Amino acid sequence: MTTAETWREALDEAGELDARTAERLLDAHGSRAARAIEAVGERRVKEYRDFTVVVGHRAEYVVEDGGCTCEDSQYNLDPADPDDLCWHALAVEIARRVGAVDHHDMWYSDVHEFL
């Protein structure tokens, strides 16, 4: 079992982010995991009808099917490695597993027009 499978399984079983699982995440993903954990704790993972969005400090990033619109995802990650994720995609995975996604019954594309 890979390190990423270990933390995913632990989150699925516990339904919460405990210290041991956080340590596994940090071992697997380092500073990206730390930023993801912070975003989940601050409820910055937003799910709309059309997209899941992670609110960063300077922008919002759309996450779909494990991919993200951020520059880290586009330039620094190995697209052949499904466990090589940016912190936004990690935040979405964590938030979904622990029930910390902020759901909005509206289209992000409509909301984004006003931003």
User: Over the stretch 32-46, which tens digit does the pLDDT of each residue have?
Assistant: 999 999 999 999 999
Binning pLDDT at 50, 70 and 90, where does residue 114 land? Answer: low
User: Over the stretch 50-102, which tens digit does the pLDDT of each residue have?
Assistant: 999 999 989 999 999 888 999 999 999 988 888 899 999 999 999 999 999 99
Distance (Å, rounded) from C-alpha 115 to C-alpha 105? 17
Q: Tell me the CA distances in angstroms from 24 to 9, 27, 74, 94, one per residue in order.
A: 11, 5, 25, 12
Q: How many domains does the chain have?
A: 1
Supply the range of the domain harboring residue 54: 3-114
